[in-house]
Amino acid sequence: MSANERREAILNTLLLRRRDKASNLANEFGVSERTIRNDIVILSCSYPIEMKQGRYDGGIEVAPWFHMDRKYLAPEQFNLLKRLAPSLEGEDLKVLNSIITQFAVHQ
């Protein structure tokens, strides 16, 4: 398994579990914890994944709002739609709100 394939598999695993420990992932993928931490650093450049320190609440986790199969609005897109909302009414406002609901990041 190449490094890129491993990172993709780690990402998919984390998306299913939402949280895990580096030691569990290292054991599962047959690499060192240091390799897992390096992979997470690389993945966190593109995905909302973070490592938390701590004996009991430490680990690697994916932001609760993130799912791979969902598209998201950039903050500036979200803000523009929110500014446009007061100028709309009726069906147009309903459609705009459905867009915001479907694509906006839950804050």
DSSP letter for each residue of 14-55: HHHHSEE-HHHHHHHHTS-HHHHHHHHHHHTTTS-EEEE--T
Q: List, for residues 81-96, the tens digit of each pLDDT value.
A: 999 999 999 999 999 8
Q: Count the residues in the chain.
A: 107
- pLDDT for residue 105: 60
| pLDDT, the chain, mean | 88
- pLDDT for residue 53: 87
Q: Which pLDDT band, with edges at 50, 70 and 90, does 107 fall under? A: very low
What is the SS3 assignment for 59? strand
Which tops the pLDDT comparison, 66 or 70? 66
Q: What residue ranges of the chain are covered by domains with CATH 1.10.10.10?
A: 3-62
For residue 69, is pLDDT > 90? no
Q: What is the third-level CATH fold of 3-62?
A: Arc Repressor Mutant, subunit A (1.10.10)
